Amino acid sequence: MRMLQGRGSSPASREEEPVASRELREAPIFGRNVLQAFTSRACRAFRAAIAGGLAVLMCAAAVIPLKGAEAGQDLVRMVLDRPTLTTLEGRGFAFAALLGAPRAATLAELRSASPIYADLARWIADDVKALRAEMAANRRPLHEVTDENVGRIMDLRWLASPLASFRLIGVVNRTDRRDFTGFTDQPSCGEVRLIYRLAYRFQRGATTYASRLPVNINAVFDGPRGPDGACPDLARIWTPPPALSGSAEMAEWLAAGPLRGLSLRQIEVNAQVVRLPSGMETELGGQAIYLMRVFRIEGDHLVPKPLENTPDVARLSKDAALKARLVDYVRSHLPEIDRGVYQLPDAFLAEKALSFSTFGSARTANHPFASLFTSSDFAGLAYEQLSYVASPAGLIARLDDNTCTGCHQGAATAGFHLIGFDEPGTSPFNVVKVPVSPHLHADDARRRAYLSALAEGRTPETFRPLSMTPPADWSRPGLPAPGAAAATMACLLPQGETALRMSWRCGEGFACEAIAHNPRLPVGTGQCMPKRAAGIVSGMACLSGELVPGVAPYLDRFRIVRQINSPAPSASPSSYTCRPAKLGVPGGSAYRQCTEAERAFAGKGASGDQRPPEICAFVGGKAFDLCVATDNFAKCMSASVARGNRPACGEGRFCREDFMCQALPSNLAGAAAVAKDTGYCSPTYFVFQMRIDGHPDPERGVP
């Protein structure tokens, strides 16, 4: 199966490379922009060369013969390659073209030319204004532009900015979504998703100002049916010709093949609309609020749709009869819920949701079923007959995970599952290294197996595990057992392991530890932390505590209970100290200064399992905060960061919750070799493009 991504690099001398590494370089893997698949010979060599579940999964899928295609040819699952996406925009798949205004180059032009987009901007603006008024009433005033230690809100002028547009960041083959649409009045042959992200770019003198902002729009399409109403041969449709080479040819094939004749089902919005800085939220390490909406197009305007499997907590809390009906529905649909494929009736669902970070996986507001029900509501059911859910607590956790808020704050990256690659010319201090979330990375193996089954004429496995589950081997028959969770990844606390069958544990040398405990959740989660002090790495959490609910979710507090590691009183190159959350590091951060050898990246060029655990990268500080406050980061960013150790990350190695993998500037002295395959974990809102505030003026840019 294929996941096409940008970031290709010049190959080394191939005569000197072993077969495994040579053909791995040519394979359709994360971080490569090529069109060849693994051969079985390469798979055998690669298995022998490298131990690791992901490598085995890639090989196992690649050698499966595909019906209607040349043996070994890959089905496309996801396209993230930047040149391919740019070419597709020119072929009629730009966001403006989808909304009937193909000539609109900016959002200012689009708002004037497209009544549908004008309506979308109005819906978002109304929601943001309502949230602003509510928070002001609760003594949380918000400002678009400020250098004070106060809350920040989305500047709505971005939605009509002459400097901005929504750029295509991904094409996603969701053939597996037919399992869900089959429960609706619009059954389909699966979905195709075009993901767009808000971005701006403008020039002032010799300086280019460019960044993305944390606003995604997901255009969801149904694939065309045949004249007889039957689904077409999806394996054939998504298998590119073997002679394709290069981004332009891939874009042409996509436009003429898998993307042809699509029917727009709905438009989904996921936007960061509020950010509360860490200096204001000193123990939470900051907060952010995300708006989630789904719309269908009716004529020249939008109509809100219920959010999939996301209950309306406010309405259900006031309507005992409706709440009882929801309990009855869950009780009578246990097998579907157990497998993770179901659709709650619209009568129970919300049309708008807000999700909250930091510690999003543990925030009660992101768990609507836990907010509504207790284990007693689902006691006495035949859990022994289920394959996955083992108790009432497990059932509530399963239901919460399938909500929009639960999914996008569980094993997500800053509220998103797809961020995409950056455009060329982006500031080197503002580049994302890993463009997908831990969940999307793990779920890709399931989608690969699903498409393989279709290609072979077999019935696909429809089961979905919890979104935070580590990658599993989906190549074998039956339900897969998840692998061990890596360092700092999500895990189930001991009392939660019995709530689900096929639960998982941390890898060798690690144990699950609660960083943000929430006693109101039926299944507690933590992070995989070293059992011994020798396993501590810069960037790991060093503080644990308990979430204390407020009268509104943005008034939640985090009560720090204890320091769990890094006892040194001050930073040094030889020992770890604990940096406080008020510096923008939720859960605190273990920190060790760089040695001179680490500053020069001595011996740090490995990748994969051989990647170093930490790397001398960049840390923020007061200069960084002052830079952001200028709304002119392009002028001051390079002078506002300092060197310091951070966790290393990259393909297959992710950062802990509230952190993300940022690219090392390739022009940093000595960094070229390591920057190719390795990035570093930054607190999410240290990455400039992941915060809604601090950008130039949406209308004037910078003076």
Establish if 668 belongs to a structural domain.
yes
pLDDT tens column, 189-198: 999 999 999 9
Q: Which residues span the domain enclosing 567?
A: 486-686
Q: Distance between CA atoms of 493 and 512, rounded to whole angstroms?
A: 6
Establish if 236 belongs to a structural domain.
no
Does the pLDDT value for residue 56 go beyond 60? no
pLDDT value of position 2: 53
Establish if 660 belongs to a structural domain.
yes
pLDDT value of position 148: 86
More confidently predicted of 638 and 169: 169
Does the pLDDT value for residue 286 go beyond 60? yes
Domain tally for the chain?
A: 2
pLDDT tens column, 367-419: 999 999 999 999 999 999 999 999 999 999 999 999 999 999 999 999 999 99
pLDDT value of position 29: 27
Residue 509: pLDDT band with limits 50, 70, 90: very high
Mean pLDDT of 157-177: 98
Establish if 450 belongs to a structural domain.
no
Average pLDDT over the chain, rounded to an integer: 88
Establish if 480 belongs to a structural domain.
no
pLDDT value of position 622: 58
Residue 605: pLDDT band with limits 50, 70, 90: low
**Contact of 655 with 408, CB cutoff 8 Å:** no
Domain stop point among 43, 72, 101: 72
Q: Distance between CA atoms of 664 and 617, rounded to whole angstroms?
A: 7
Establish if 564 belongs to a structural domain.
yes
Domain stop point among 48, 72, 96: 72
Residue 182: pLDDT band with limits 50, 70, 90: confident
Considering 22-31, 104-113, 622-631, the range whose residues carry the highest mean pLDDT is 104-113
Does the pLDDT value for residue 571 go beyond 50? yes
Q: Annotate 510-564 with DSSP letters as a single string.
A: EEEE-SEE-TTSSS-EEEEEESSGGG--TTS--EEEEEE--SSGGG-EEEEEEE-
DSSP H helical ranges for 63-195: 82-88, 95-98, 107-113, 115-137, 178-181
Establish if 595 belongs to a structural domain.
yes
pLDDT tens column, 632-670: 666 666 665 789 999 999 999 999 999 999 999 878 888
Considering 39-48, 144-153, 538-547, the range whose residues carry the highest mean pLDDT is 538-547
* Contacts with 12 (C-beta within 8 Å, 6 or more apart), sequence order: none
Mean pLDDT of 506-515: 98
Establish if 393 belongs to a structural domain.
no
Q: Is the pTM of this model over 0.95?
A: no
Does the pLDDT value for residue 560 go beyond 90? yes
Percent of the chain with pLDDT over 70: 85
